[in-house]
Amino acid sequence: MLQKKVEIIVYGAEQLCPSCVNLPSSKETYGWLEAAVSRKFPNQPFDITYVDIYNPPAEETKRDFAERVIEEDMFYPVVLIGDKVVGEGNPRLKTIFAELESQGYRAE
């Protein structure tokens, strides 16, 4: 049984990170991730939020993490589920799906 609706947060920027040149952009990753999760876990609600690390929202936790991505030179997009990093640079669906399943989501 699904406990609560999970929030997936994709931190990224318009510009690709230098080490991520041949990878999809943060916005593209956000788009395919939303589609993939919807397909894998139909009728199971989730929120997916895109946060621009150079223009983060006022919400303190998101702003603080956006600063961390920049300060620690993390490869973005960085994907968080709750406060757990489940993908960095080139997020793997398998890892993201496994975390969602550990939170009660069931593949259909």
Number of domain units in the chain: 1
**Residue 81 backbone dihedrals phi, psi, to 5 degrees:** -120, 115
Q: What pLDDT is recorded for position 71?
A: 96
Q: How far apart are CA 100 and CA 22, in angstroms?
A: 27
pLDDT score of 1 more than 70: no
Tokens coding 93:
């669906």
Residue 108 placed within a domain: no
Residue 70 placed within a domain: yes
Residue 1 placed within a domain: no
Residue 34 placed within a domain: yes
The rounded mean pLDDT for the chain is 91
Q: How far apart are CA 1 and CA 76, in angstroms?
A: 32
List, for residues 58-101, the tens digit of each pLDDT value.
999 999 999 999 999 998 999 999 889 999 988 999 999 999 99
Length of the chain: 108
Against a cut of 0.85, is the pTM above it?
Answer: yes
Structure confidence at residue 2 as a pLDDT band (50, 70, 90): low
Percentage of residues in the chain with pLDDT exceeding 90? 77
> Which CATH number goes with the domain that contains 21?
3.40.30.30
Domain that holds residue 32: 6-102
